[in-house]
Structure 1
Amino acid sequence: MSLLCRKEHQMLATLIPLFDDNMYVCAYSVFARKENHFLNPNYEGGARYDGAGTVHELEVVSSMGVGTLSGGKEVFVPINQFSIFAEISLQCTVPAGKVVLLMDNSIVPTEQYVKRVKELKSQGYKLAIRKLQIADFEPYKEIISQCDYILLNHTKIEISKAKVYFGKVYPNVKLVAVNVDSQEEYEELKKDGGYDLYEGGFFRMPVKESETEVSPLKVNYIELLNVINAQDFDLQEAADVIGKDPALVISLLEMVNRMALNSDITSIRHAAAMLGQKELKRWINTAVTKELCADKPSEITRLAMIRAKFAEGLAGPFEMGMAAQELFIMGLFSAIDIMLDKPMEEALNMVQVSKNIRDALIDNKGDFAPLLNFIRRYEDADWTEVSRLMVIDDINMDEVYEAYLNALKWYRDLFPQK
């Protein structure tokens, strides 16, 4: 049975970036919650033993496929005192070396746990541990010595001392500062030095120049060439292929904007129809010839595309089914300011989008704003607020989770599997 069909999980999950001193995204951590936090405020999220030894967060990793993360980044998956004994290798469909099993202090340094940790290490998994106090470092030495990362609460650690200690005792363990709440905190921690990676609520979109370039997807261009060079090709089919690539969509809408002022574009199909077969074919052949040799998509492309498909998938639960294509464009262009390195209003003036999209992206108002706000809270793993919004709007948790997994799977399936 497909993992995507297992709807009994009642879970929410998202990917949170881990980044370095240059704000380059180096890895992701799966943040999950298996209950509605608003209805169950005392529930503690994280990997959970359900009697079958299932690590539910691996469902997200399998749906996503780490091969689609730009640069083949690692993914941190939380495990606890129960799920550490699960048959992880049977649940994980991605290479073990790309998975970092993130342990917590429920896993104690007894012989049983130390043996299991060493087994997982021998199977090729990377390991990390969190929620340890300074007093735990010595008792946990057999477990820490097997780890690739240790996550530290930077507010409770004197990093200058920690750097010396770990450099001497565990020279191969990378230090990760968690709960970095502001840009100012991040800058201070950078200045002090010592941390290899950071996780912070202020940072959810990559801003490093090399990460924000809007690169094409080669497979889409080849597919598009085949479509438009067929005799009497289907405009809708071409539009659907264009919709898989932000670089193509931006270029298309810029062209339509120059041709048709004051015309609200509500879908990519609409834009393609306005251009017509002859002009669309001429533009595609030019764009494909120019871009076919470009590298794999950047991190910002990946995030924008997943957000776009997630927005489209939420159209039903938010009772905006008729606007699904428009919501896709809204999600895609929600990072266009970063893509083009311009203020949002100026960036949107380069393309032709509807008033609903402009209102949501520029002023956070209008019909689409609540859905965009929901997505942003979801991406932040703000489960309390996400759960509150689901209760208020009578939105089913399964539908939200399925829409997110489908977005990951859709993006994964854009690439030929090696």
Structure 2
Amino acid sequence: MNIYAARQPIFTRKEEVFGYELLHRKTEENRFMGTDHTEATAELINNTFLSIGIQEYSSNKRLFINFSRDLIVSKVPMLLPKELIVVEILEDVEIDKELVEACQELKEAGYLLALDDFVFREGYEELIPLASIIKTEYGSYSPAEHQKLVQQYGNKILLVERVETREEFEELVGYGYHLFQGFFFSKPIMMKGKEVPPFNPVLLQVIEELNKEDPRYDLIAQKIENDLSLTYKFLKLANTIQFGSKFPVDTAKEAMVRIGLESIRKWIYILMLQDIKFNQNSEMITNSLIRAKMMEMIAEHQKNKKSHFFLAGLFSELDAITGKPFEILAEELPLSPEVEKALLRKGGKVMEMLYYILNFEKGKLVSRDYVLKNGKEELNLSDVYQYSIEWSNKLLELK
């Protein structure tokens, strides 16, 4: 049974990440059928969390997981750390004495319970006191009904999902909701009284030199050494376990030799994103890093030029991060024609893979054949995703 899982962020009113909901689907060739929630969640716990570790998968945030009645009654949630998961009770679960008693035991053990897609029905009067979080969908209620729900259950943590625009987010904040889930966060940010910082001109100069047929190490090293912050970051990177040895380096040129040209290109672009990071766009940057690594790994498997795919993934949300359309960004940044074409959504192999990854992130059905294309052996998409999360977590620790 091939289960693929992606995570969708859940935000506070301040747009800080509170946690992630696990979105899991089968591949197109092994389609998800009606009551497979028990089997799917059990397989995810066994194959994903027990191998990679739930801390890595959730980036040490809470992970919202759908549990069926059978799993709850069997006390499966207790296999996972209570401080890192939220037990979501599905909206169509059969409510009986056995389920209520199991939920009571989970609550007493310190687990957070959430009622998913909440619409009051018979039996909920026993579950509501046990739940810490009530989840509802934006489109399921009128404005008046949203306000009534907030007034009635204001003593709970109220989470609303399928929030797709910033206007909806602001509206729901006004009603009094506490947590928000949806793709509103990936929409362009209108900063009040604050502009997104411009790209570091030194980085742009370094990129321009790196894109030449025969880039000069000494010139690049000189530009890096003229920027104290950039020098510190490069030395720190060169002396990490990934690149380091028992002999530390202490000059930018030595760091460049150790890291290598291909990796330098990658890290320069990453540093460019880190320089324009702030609270409201931090999750977009995290997503971009995961997406870039996934695209790089799949491209390598398919024997494609992985640097183009990595960069397209990394810059795939740059319009939302900076508030500038891609047409303007394409003029500001020295991009290859393949990457520029993908970001402008003008077709090509790079754009094709970008759309594939975007669909995967949204929990849509994806074809396993695409990942296998031109590859001699199967590439497990879940493994790629998990590794990319681990990689991005370690990368963000280097800042």
Q: TM-score, normalised by structure 1?
A: 0.67
**Is the counterpart of residue 375 in structure 1 residue 349 in structure 2?**
no
Structure 1: stretches of 5+ with no match in the other structure: 1-8, 216-246
**Is the counterpart of residue 76 in structure 1 residue 64 in structure 2?**
yes
Residues 267-326 of structure 1, C-alpha deviations (whole Å, 9 max, x = no match): xxx97x65656426515644255999x999932332221111111122145x2x341233
Aligned pairs (5 A) from 1:19-418: 19-20=11-12, 25-33=17-25, 35-37=26-28, 39-40=30-31, 42-43=33-34, 46=37, 48=39, 54=45, 58=49, 62=53, 65=56, 68=59, 73-84=61-72, 85-90=74-79, 92=80, 96-136=82-122, 139-158=123-142, 160-161=144-145, 163-164=147-148, 167-168=151-152, 170-181=153-164, 189=172, 193-201=175-183, 203-204=185-186, 207=189, 253-257=203-207, 259=209, 263=211, 278-279=221-222, 282-283=225-226, 285-288=228-231, 298-317=282-301, 319=302, 321-383=303-365, 386-387=366-367, 390=370, 399-414=380-395
Conserved in 2, the CA contact under 8 Å of 1:11 and 1:398? no
Amino acid at match of 1:78: N
Residues 135-170 of structure 1, C-alpha deviations (whole Å, 9 max, x = no match): 24xx222322121211123433356456545644x4
Amino acid at match of 1:88: P
> Does the C-alpha gap of structure 1 residues 264 and 46 become closer, same or farther in structure 2, counting only changes over 3 Å?
farther
* Deviation, structure 1 residue 32: 0.6
> Does the C-alpha gap of structure 1 residues 183 and 120 become closer, same or farther in structure 2, counting only changes over 3 Å?
same
Q: Which has the higher contact order (CA 8 A, sep 6+)?
A: 1
Conserved in 2, the CA contact under 8 Å of 1:178 and 1:199? yes
Residues 68-90 of structure 1, C-alpha deviations (whole Å, 9 max, x = no match): 4xxx6432111111222244344
Residues 3-41 of structure 1, C-alpha deviations (whole Å, 9 max, x = no match): xxxxxx5111111122355655443211011x2246536
> Does the C-alpha gap of structure 1 residues 264 and 207 become closer, same or farther in structure 2, counting only changes over 3 Å?
farther
Amino acid at match of 1:81: R
Conserved in 1, the CA contact under 8 Å of 2:20 and 2:64? yes
Conserved in 2, the CA contact under 8 Å of 1:179 and 1:200? yes
Inter-partner Cα distance in structure 2 for 1:366 and 1:195: 42
Residues 356-405 of structure 1, C-alpha deviations (whole Å, 9 max, x = no match): 1111112342331101111111122222xx23874996989852221111
Inter-partner Cα distance in structure 1 for 2:195 and 2:61: 18
Conserved in 2, the CA contact under 8 Å of 1:48 and 1:80? no
Amino acid at match of 2:155: N
Amino acid at match of 2:317: A
> Does the C-alpha gap of structure 1 residues 62 and 387 become closer, same or farther in structure 2, counting only changes over 3 Å?
same
Inter-partner Cα distance in structure 1 for 2:361 and 2:16: 18
Amino acid at match of 1:80: S
Secondary structure of 1:101's aligned partner = strand
> Does the C-alpha gap of structure 1 residues 119 and 56 become closer, same or farther in structure 2, counting only changes over 3 Å?
farther
Aligned residues: 352
Inter-partner Cα distance in structure 2 for 1:365 and 1:174: 43
Inter-partner Cα distance in structure 2 for 1:213 and 1:80: 46
Inter-partner Cα distance in structure 1 for 2:126 and 2:308: 54
* Deviation, structure 1 residue 179: 3.2
Inter-partner Cα distance in structure 1 for 2:38 and 2:374: 26
Amino acid at match of 2:225: R
Amino acid at match of 1:10: N
* Deviation, structure 1 residue 184: 5.9
Query: Could you tell me which residue of structure 2 aligns to residue 14 of structure 1?
Result: 6
Inter-partner Cα distance in structure 2 for 1:24 and 1:50: 27
Inter-partner Cα distance in structure 2 for 1:283 and 1:324: 30
Inter-partner Cα distance in structure 2 for 1:415 and 1:388: 30
